[in-house]
Chains A and B, each alone.
Chain A
Amino acid sequence: MLNQLLHPVIGWMSPSWQYLVVNTLWVLVILLPLVIAVAYLTYFERKVIGYMQVRIGPNRVGPKGLFQPFADVFKLLFKEIITPNVANKFIFYLAPVLILVASFVAWAVIPFDKGWVLANINAGLLYVLAIGAAGVYGVILAGWASNSKYALLGGMRSAAHKVAYELAMGFALVGVLMAARSLNLSEIVEHQSGNVLTWYWLPLLPMFVVYFISGVAETNRAPFDISEGESEIVAGFHVEYSGITFALFMLAEYASMILISALTALLFLGGWLSPFQGTSLESIFGFVPGIFWFFIKIAILLFLFLWFRATFPRYRYDQIMRLGWKVFIPVTIVWIFVEGVLVYFKVGPWFS
């Protein structure tokens, strides 16, 4: 589509360079709405948590405070960036960029609807896992390069707990892989097709729970936000960052929240599949595009993120480690064995 539109402009290039230009534009088509979504997720978060705590939340900038995210962004843009004298300058500025890159590039393989995917690669699930694993570098390097004790402590905590929860996440994904027999995200969604009960949340219920909770831990959100831990280590790894560098950390955090929600929706909640599939309502809602259902599922999961934050007190560090290593990993391993048996005997309707 974009290819034909742009043909008069880029027609003179060789096909592979055309491919590059067109795909770069597609990247913008995905990322610009994502950035806007991040801006309004912050607004949504402040409103939701405000109402949960019987407050109003932001309501001064624009009607109902709707322009608050832009006010925040411009404030951070124009603030002075302070570099600590003893910081390792190059890595200090590299760290927020690395974190942001990791939370953006994973979107390349996310299918928004049937066939609406930038890179339909076979090993999509592995790719997502690998990119998520690379995301920890930003946090560690930010902690180290700041040359501050609090920042270093935050970076260390983050490194340790991310490695722990990545394992649990990986095992949960193995469960999905076994059920769908594919690493391609579009095929995983197609394989769940049927009705609400054939989506993988039911046959892989322990995996679903473990994956989502590990996702909350991976994104450093409450109640797992020990790498920031305001009450213990000031602001953790980004204590020395100000202005736009701080904004990049926030942008990356919220973008990866949306990413984790999108992945959970794809892997366990049927992605773009309609929740009315296989019922009499299916034809009535037939006109609704699949991307709408996908966004609804993402929004519900994002609400859970905010709900957790408003509800649970922060975990203690040793309790986080215990939960990751001694509860989640054994649960996922046991369920992989159970699932192996179910797959072997072709227990329907999921594994037949």
Chain B
Amino acid sequence: MTLYQFLFYVFASSAVISAIRVVTVKNPVHAALFLVLTFFTTSLTWILMEAEFLGIVLLLVYVGAVMVLFLFVVMMLDINLAPLREGFVRNLPVGVFVALVMVIELGLIVGSHAFGLANYPAPTAAAAGTSNTLALGSVLYTEYVYPFEIAAFILLVSIVSAIALAHRKREGVLYQNIDQQVKVNRDDRIRMVKMVSSTPVVSETGDGKSNSSGEKRRD
């Protein structure tokens, strides 16, 4: 076994095992972590297949951003597991049926007749110095520029709509307007008051001892 094959089997088997664990493990945080492991090993197999850019982007987007937010939510929610598992036996037949249908459908589309080894001979290795990123970029911005722009636009609309749906104005919330804070002048906050510095009590007896500060009134 070459090193390449060895690495492939290690990554591929751990990807499959962790994918199964995502749905079988009980603790939701553990499930999220197994999903992270699945993404990670998948991206490693992609990198083995010389798709460095896609592999690293998978890592960057899914592991680095999506799953962090996912974990963030899962950790915040104190999920009560018992109600989630209620009706497992009752719903099992439906679940099994749907799963079977999906497996058959997938088999029909991506089965060995369409994607078998006979149809796809091993690709020749890319020449040294081939830039994956450059190749993808030049295709994406020339041949596929319209689909790419449309996808970007749909994403933009979905961002705006997500914010519009989740945004709510609450009354009676105190918050600081930082622009106002920055623009504040000294004169808005401080008022200088002219006052007499001290007014010692002059005693009627006039012996001078009561004037403890030893000052004389200036006025």
Q: Is the C-beta of A87 less than 8 angstroms from some C-beta in chain B?
A: no
* Smallest beta-carbon distance B45→chain A, Å: 16
Count of chain A residues near B, Cβ 8 A: 34
- Evaluate contact between A163 and B68: CB separation under 8 angstroms: yes
* Smallest beta-carbon distance A253→chain B, Å: 19
- Complex CA distance for A91 and B33, rounded to whole angstroms: 10
- Complex CA distance for A246 and B6, rounded to whole angstroms: 35
List residues 81-133 of chain B with CB under 8 A from any CB of chain A: 131-133
- Complex CA distance for A350 and B43, rounded to whole angstroms: 35
> Which among A122, A318, A322 has the greatest number of chain B C-beta atoms within 10 A?
A122
- Complex CA distance for A20 and B10, rounded to whole angstroms: 16
Q: Which residue of A lies closest to B72 (CB)?
A: A159
Q: Is the C-beta of B29 less than 8 angstroms from some C-beta in chain A?
A: yes
Known: A122-B131, A137-B36. A16 touches B56 (CB 8 A): no
A-B contact count (CB 8 A): 78
- Evaluate contact between B75 and A152: CB separation under 8 angstroms: yes
Q: Is the C-beta of B57 less than 8 angstroms from some C-beta in chain A?
A: yes
Report the stretch among A64-72, A124-132, A198-206, A338-346 that lies at the interface. A124-132
Known: A126-B57, A127-B56. A140 touches B64 (CB 8 A): no
Q: Which residue of A lies closest to B5 (CB)?
A: A16
- Complex CA distance for A156 and B69, rounded to whole angstroms: 10
Count of chain B residues near A, Cβ 8 A: 26
List residues 24-78 of chain B with CB under 8 A from any CB of chain A: 29, 33, 36, 52-53, 56-57, 59-60, 63-65, 68-69, 71-72, 75-76
- Evaluate contact between B52 and A121: CB separation under 8 angstroms: yes
Q: Which B residues are in CB contact (< 8 Å) with A141?
A: 33
- Evaluate contact between A130 and B60: CB separation under 8 angstroms: yes
Q: Is the C-beta of B173 less than 8 angstroms from some C-beta in chain A?
A: no
- Evaluate contact between A144 and B60: CB separation under 8 angstroms: no
Q: Is the C-beta of B2 less than 8 angstroms from some C-beta in chain A?
A: yes
> Chain B at the A interface: mostly helix, strand, loop or mixed?
helix
> Which among A130, A144, A183, A318 has the greatest number of chain B C-beta atoms within 10 A?
A130
> Chain A at the B interface: mostly helix, strand, loop or mixed?
helix
Scoring A residues 107 to 140 as 1 if CB is less than 8 Å from chain B, else 0, what string do you get?
A: 0000000000000011100110110111011001
Q: Which residue of B lies closest to A319 (CB)?
A: B178
**Partner pick for B68 among A129, A132, A136, A322, CB 8 A cutoff:** A136
- Evaluate contact between B59 and A130: CB separation under 8 angstroms: yes
* Smallest beta-carbon distance A22→chain B, Å: 13
- Evaluate contact between A140 and B75: CB separation under 8 angstroms: yes
Q: Is the C-beta of B3 less than 8 angstroms from some C-beta in chain A?
A: yes
Q: Is the C-beta of A160 less than 8 angstroms from some C-beta in chain B?
A: yes
Q: Which B residues are in CB contact (< 8 Å) with A127?
A: 56
- Evaluate contact between A183 and B133: CB separation under 8 angstroms: yes
- Complex CA distance for A91 and B132, rounded to whole angstroms: 36
- Evaluate contact between A126 and B60: CB separation under 8 angstroms: yes
- Evaluate contact between A322 and B178: CB separation under 8 angstroms: yes
> Which among B2, B57, B75, B76 has the greatest number of chain A C-beta atoms within 10 A?
B75
Q: Which B residues are in CB contact (< 8 Å) with A88?
A: 29
Q: Is the C-beta of A26 less than 8 angstroms from some C-beta in chain B?
A: no
Using CB atoms and an 8 Å cutoff, list the residues of chain A in contact with chain B.
Answer: 14, 16-17, 19-20, 88, 91, 121-123, 126-127, 129-130, 132-134, 136-137, 140-141, 144, 152, 155-156, 159-160, 162-163, 166, 183, 318-319, 322
17 more contacts with CB within 8 A, not counting A14-B2, A126-B56, A130-B57, are A14-B3, A122-B133, A126-B53, A126-B133, A127-B56, A130-B59, A130-B64, A133-B60, A133-B68, A140-B71, A155-B75, A156-B75, A159-B71, A159-B72, A163-B68, A166-B65, A319-B178
List 5 A-B pairs, minimum CB-CB distance, nearest first. A133-B64, A16-B3, A130-B59, A130-B60, A126-B56
Using CB atoms and an 8 Å cutoff, list the residues of chain B in contact with chain A.
Answer: 2-4, 29, 33, 36, 52-53, 56-57, 59-60, 63-65, 68-69, 71-72, 75-76, 131-133, 176, 178
Q: List 13 A-B contacts (CB under 8 A).
A: A14-B3, A19-B3, A91-B33, A126-B60, A129-B64, A133-B64, A134-B63, A136-B68, A144-B71, A144-B75, A152-B75, A156-B76, A318-B176
